[in-house]
Amino acid sequence: MQIGVETSKAVDQRRVFVVDHDELTRAALQFMLHDEIETHELASLEEAFEKGVGWLKPDVLLLGVSYLAERGTGIIGEITAAFPGVRILIVCAKADEAVAVEGIKAGAHGALVKPLTLEGVRKKVDTILGRGGAAPLIQLGMFK
């Protein structure tokens, strides 16, 4: 049994895809989450689209900010079209927060800002999933 892992979370059959150009970030996020949620690290969005067909659809997609910088905010719409109901968190460094904010304006649900911590990442994913007593997620776009 892993320390700090809630069994109820580990068996709730939710799934996270980690899509980032940076292999170290993907590996770190996968390591932080895999004890409590099924987590897949993927090198590209195309790989995620292929893998997420049918029953393997993600509930949360952690997207490296480099995809927004490279492809623009339209990528958020492509992801939500491919995976209806998916929650998107943008993974970024403090210096890239402006790009992440543009992604949130385009429909992403939040951001994970580096440096990443085990507790912070797990709490944010729990919040976005509305589980484990976490406060409900309210998307700021609702208040426009």
Give pLDDT tens digits for 48-98. 999 988 779 999 999 999 999 999 999 999 999 999 999 999 999 999 999
Residue at 67 is within a domain? yes
Residue at 121 is within a domain? yes
DSSP structural state of residue 96: G
Using CA atoms of 51, 91, 82, 138 in order, give the dihedral in degrees to the nearest 10: 130
**Prediction pTM value:** 0.84
Measured at the CA of 98, the angle between CA 86 and CA 88, to 5 degrees, comes to 5
At 86, list the tokens. Answer: 């998916």
CATH code at position 107 = 3.40.50.2300
Domain ranges, residue 106: 15-128
Number of domains in the chain: 1
Give the model confidence (pLDDT) of 89-133 as tens digits.
999 999 999 999 999 999 999 999 999 999 999 999 999 999 865
